[in-house]
A = this chain, B = another copy of it.
Amino acid sequence: MKNKVIITIARQFGSGGREIGAKLADTLGIPFYDKSLIHLAAKESGIDEDLFDYADEKAYHNFWTTSASNTSYYGNRISLFNEMPMNDKLFLIQSNIIKKLAENGSCVIVGRCADYILQNDEHTVPVFIHSSEQDRQNRVIHTYGIAEKDANDVMVKTDKKRAAYYNYYSGEKWGRADNYDLSINSSAVGIDGAVDLIIKFAELKLETLK
């Protein structure tokens, strides 16, 4: 791809969105960020990495600034920051990192409201991946190794958490087609089909920027 492109991927749990993101990054030869963003954010902020992991893609729920003393970088800059709930701080730190990554060059970012954070960046292609319940259950059981009896429960709860996180921070509705440039049912076209379509879409969108 000639132009810089930031592909953000929001996804139903078990839809193959992460795999599609990783294949996209591999095909285009660009970096891939998902949980790795947590490590970057933790490093930048001085906050305990376990705390980031705990708060990852969770919206605010009575999780206050118990570790305020650890916010060495951001905590010293503005007093408002010190007063924020911890989840909001983590969101803000992660948002800044996402913006920096997008400035630096092409990449694929999975989850973490990246589509919302980069909504004004013309090089961004926001994508949503979903799939049939059957395919999601199969992936959750056979790829993620979750017990069959728990699969549906884990799927529903994980998506509820993702939706709550997205809706809380963006003020929009997770999974609504008009929040993304492109939404694909991966059950219909498979992982490779989705990768091809996203690349074709990105080329079409970005060729107007030449």
- Residues of A whose CB lies within 8 Å of any CB of B are 12, 125, 128, 130, 175-178, 180-185, 188-190, 193, 196-197, 200-201, 204-205
Which residue of chain B has its CB nearest to the CB of A192? B204
Please indicate the chain B residues that have their CB under 8 angstroms from the CB of A189 in the complex.
181, 201, 204-205
The 25 listed contacts between A and B (C-beta, < 8 Å) are: A12-B178, A125-B188, A128-B177, A128-B183, A130-B178, A175-B177, A177-B177, A177-B183, A178-B183, A178-B185, A180-B183, A181-B184, A181-B188, A181-B189, A182-B182, A182-B183, A183-B183, A184-B201, A188-B204, A188-B205, A193-B201, A193-B204, A196-B200, A197-B197, A197-B204
A185 to B128 alpha-carbon distance, docked (Å): 12
